[in-house]
Amino acid sequence: MQNISRRYGAAALGLCFAFASAESFAQTPRPTQKPPAQAPAAQPAAATNRVELKPSQPEWTKVCGKDPQAGKEICYTTRDFGQAADQQPVLAVAVYDVKGDAQRVVRLLLPVGLLLRPGFRFSIDKGAALEGTYEICFPNGCFAESRLDAKQLEVMKRGSVLNINVKNQANAEVVFAVPLEGFGKAFDGPAVDPKVLEDQQKALQTELQKRAEDERRRLEGGAGATPAPPAAPR
């Protein structure tokens, strides 16, 4: 996920659900008054909001390099995801493989506005949930990590969906459903050429910038008599 924090602006991080009000998710209704002799009615459980994500990149990308401090080769296989293929990314997933280490690190870039204290949970398809913790937050996103052993990694390589469970500001559970198609092939395959990766990132930046400009012009066109301020020089 190298340089990934540079590639995301705050507006690109799925604010439509990360900062959603309580009305956007299930609220806990106020209990109805009951006579003292009766047991209080149980409160209904809060609903889970499931967000089906789509890849923002054509395929998973594997990048390798040598850590000068540890003297080890490190590879990571990563992909960005959004609510639609033509929209800004909502989150990113990367699985790090350090040569000689038995465990792999799963690193996520998640939207801001989520509750940090409970951490996050993730599962592959309908498998058992694994725990993870937040590491650090920036204005444009939060990094979170967990670990996989060899058996869990094999399950992920053959899996269909990575379910990432978090809680939003309304204390409601949100599940990001991330498609895993192509992950195993990319993880086991060769690393991408650094020049090819650089060209891909430049092309992605150009496309996202074009979409932002088109959206700005669309909003300006519907502003009526109120002119929009001119764009800052680049």
- For the chain, the first-to-last Cα distance in angstroms comes to 27
Other residues' Cβ atoms within 10 Å of the Cβ of residue 186: 19
pLDDT of residue 38: 52
What are 125-134's pLDDT values in tens digits?
999 999 999 9
Identity of residue 45: A
The pLDDT profile of the chain, 234 residues, written as one tens digit per residue, is 444 333 333 223 332 333 222 222 222 233 334 444 454 454 455 568 999 999 988 899 999 998 888 788 999 999 999 998 777 889 999 999 998 898 999 999 999 999 999 899 999 999 999 999 999 999 989 999 999 999 999 999 999 999 999 999 999 999 999 999 999 999 999 998 777 777 777 877 787 778 778 878 888 886 554 454 555 544
Q: What domains are there in the chain, each with its CATH number?
A: 4-25+46-217 (2.60.40.1880)
Q: Which pLDDT score is estimated for 195? A: 75
Residue 28, both tokens: 């806990």
Predicted pLDDT at 223: 59
Q: What is the pLDDT of residue 27?
A: 28
Report the alpha-carbon angle 144-146-147, nearest 5: 155
Closest CA to 7 of 133, 141, 180, 97: 141
Tens digits of residue pLDDT in 64-87 = 998 888 788 999 999 999 998 777
Please report, as a single letter, which amino acid is at residue 161. V
Q: Which pLDDT does position 174 carry in this prediction?
A: 95
Can you point out the beta strands (E) in 58-199?
61-67, 72-82, 91-98, 104-110, 120-124, 130-138, 141-148, 161-167, 173-179
How many whole angstroms separate alpha carbon 84 and alpha carbon 105? 27
